[in-house]
């Protein structure tokens, strides 16, 4: 088992990570100027009960938020069992009839969830060269924060986060700045095993009904309602659904009047799309499903596991989500999600000398000079500075950004530390961290990678300004 050494930080050490699958049991480029360098065969369940193997925990202290993770302490093995889960999994063929949620089914017991956060965010590159997709900001908060807080508010008090790409950055962010009333455990994958395979690898820590959610999708939803639906139906798995405009881009699901799933189709042609209800990447599962995930191959829930269970006649159900669900897979999606959050959480802003309309989320440390214009929805982050004559229109300005005189940012995102020069225009674009957009430059429908300078008077449209990743 490989573990990474600690990194020094204020108030403690960063969480260490463990290589879970060390277990031998199976476990147009535009010109820009860079600045600086800048069936499972698993056997009895006891074989995956070694408490010394698996994630590390970021445990809250008595007061305040996380103070860095400590290794997961050895614990008594969970409930001993005399037969493989696979045997019990076959018994669930008899499930599927509705029943009342047993009294005290939740109570004060541990509620567990697995959040998958290992993806590279390929469609967001170059924005994700240094920042993993789950940490991409949505109206001032990392994307993963929305799902973690939704889980917390629904009573999930033990959360396992699986991570691979830029895992140190992810663990550092969650362990250092966010306050969750839950135990956080981390699982590191050197070789990603697919969505279902990643969950199987943390099976040691799952012995009851649990939730799986994606950490790189904006999901502020009612997990409690989904859990209770699952318990009433008595199925092996419940899949959360969301209505989409274009079903050809998603895996769609067909359900009967009772909510039982009858068919799946992954990204169908338009003429074959039988539904606009898409798999939202949120599941409530019984532990038995883990025994249908092979240990030695990449295996996904939507493409592999659920069709396999359906073919075996096992009871799968689905329910439409209550809450916000939005994909942030592309830069424009990231902007749309941010605007939706501001519409829900922002407030009208009124101040003498400032022209403002619509809803705004404004950090108390932001500095707004007289003569600026805000057309909401807008997000203005900590320490952002807007000089006289500048205009924000359906946009996000993050920490320590600077909007110089008469600059315009419309339908765009400007990330931390970047400066938009006098009379410059940013339209339908994303400017990453620590960039300088010089006076009079016009950037439209483009992506500017971090640490780039765009020369005064430049004109860029549908461009990606970047350099190879380090």
Angle at 92 (CA atoms; ends 87, 97), nearest 5 degrees = 165
Residue pair 16/5 in contact by the 8 Å Cβ criterion: yes
Which residue, among 398, 424, 433, 396, has the nearest Cα to 411 in the 3D structure? 396
Using alpha carbons only, give the angle 310, 312, 313 rounded to the nearest 5 degrees: 65
> CA-based angle 129:130:136, to the nearest 5?
95
Question: Would you tell me how many other CB atoms lie within 10 Å of the CB of residue 191?
Answer: 9
Q: Taking CA 461 as the corner, what is the angle to CA 459 and CA 465, rounded to the nearest 5 degrees?
A: 85
Q: Let me know if 224 is a catalytic residue.
A: no
Q: Active site residue: 263, 267, 312, 347, which one?
A: 267
CB 79 within 8 A of CB 177: no
CB-based contact 21:138 (threshold 8 Å): no
Which residues make Cβ contacts (< 8 Å) with residue 292, sequence separation at least 6? 39, 40, 89, 305, 308, 309
b (16+ CB within 10 A) / e for 21-34: bebeeebeebebee
- Cα of 184 vs its chain's centroid, Å: 15
Q: Which residues belong to the active site?
A: 267
């Amino acid at each position: 088992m490989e573990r990474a050494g600690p990194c020094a930080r204020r108030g403690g050490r960063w969480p260490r990570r463990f290589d879970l699958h060390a277990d031998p049991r199976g476990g147009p480029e535009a010109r820009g100027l860079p600045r600086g360098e800048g069936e499972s065969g698993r056997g009895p369940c006891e074989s995956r009960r070694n408490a010394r193997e698996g994630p590390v925990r970021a445990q809250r202290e008595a007061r305040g938020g996380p103070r860095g993770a400590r290794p997961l302490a050895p614990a008594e093995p969970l409930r001993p069992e005399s037969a493989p889960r696979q045997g019990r999994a076959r018994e669930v063929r008899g499930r599927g009839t509705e029943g009342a949620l047993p009294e005290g089914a939740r109570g004060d017991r541990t509620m567990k969830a697995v959040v998958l956060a290992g993806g590279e965010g390929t469609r967001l590159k170059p924005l994700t060269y240094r920042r993993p997709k789950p940490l991409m900001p949505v109206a001032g908060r990392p994307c993963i924060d929305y799902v973690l807080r939704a889980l917390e508010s629904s009573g999930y008090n033990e959360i396992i986060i699986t991570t691979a790409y830029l895992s140190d950055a992810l663990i550092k962010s969650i362990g250092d700045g966010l306050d969750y009333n839950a135990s956080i455990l981390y699982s590191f994958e050197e070789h990603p095993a697919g969505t279902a395979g990643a969950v199987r690898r943390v099976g040691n820590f799952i012995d009851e009904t649990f939730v799986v959610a994606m950490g790189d999708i904006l999901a502020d939803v009612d997990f409690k309602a989904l859990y209770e639906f699952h318990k009433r139906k008595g199925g092996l798995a419940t899949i959360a659904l969301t209505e989409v405009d274009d079903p050809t881009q998603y895996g769609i699901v067909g359900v009967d009047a009772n909510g039982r799933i009858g068919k799946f189709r992954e990204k169908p042609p338009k003429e074959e799309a039988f539904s606009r209800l898409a798999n939202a990447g949120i599941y409530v599962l019984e532990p038995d499903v883990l025994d249908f995930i092979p240990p030695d191959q990449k295996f996904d829930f939507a493409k592999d596991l659920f069709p396999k269970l359906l073919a075996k006649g096992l009871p799968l159900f689905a329910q439409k989500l209550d809450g916000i669900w939005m994909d942030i897979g592309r830069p424009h999606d990231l902007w749309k999600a941010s605007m939706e959050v501001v519409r829900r959480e922002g407030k009208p802003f009124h101040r003498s000398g400032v022209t403002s309309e619509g809803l705004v989320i404004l950090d108390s440390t932001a500095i707004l000079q007289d003569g600026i214009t805000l057309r909401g929805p807008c997000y203005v982050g900590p320490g952002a500075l807007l000089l006289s004559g500048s205009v924000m229109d359906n946009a996000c300005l993050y920490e320590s950004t600077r909007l110089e005189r008469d600059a315009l940012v419309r339908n765009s995102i400007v990330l931390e530390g970047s400066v938009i020069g006098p009379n410059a225009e940013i339209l339908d674009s994303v400017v990453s961290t620590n960039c300088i957009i010089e006076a009079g430059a016009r950037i439209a429908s483009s992506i500017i990678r971090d640490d780039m300078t765009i020369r005064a008077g430049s004109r860029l449209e549908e461009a990606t300004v970047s350099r190879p990743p380090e």
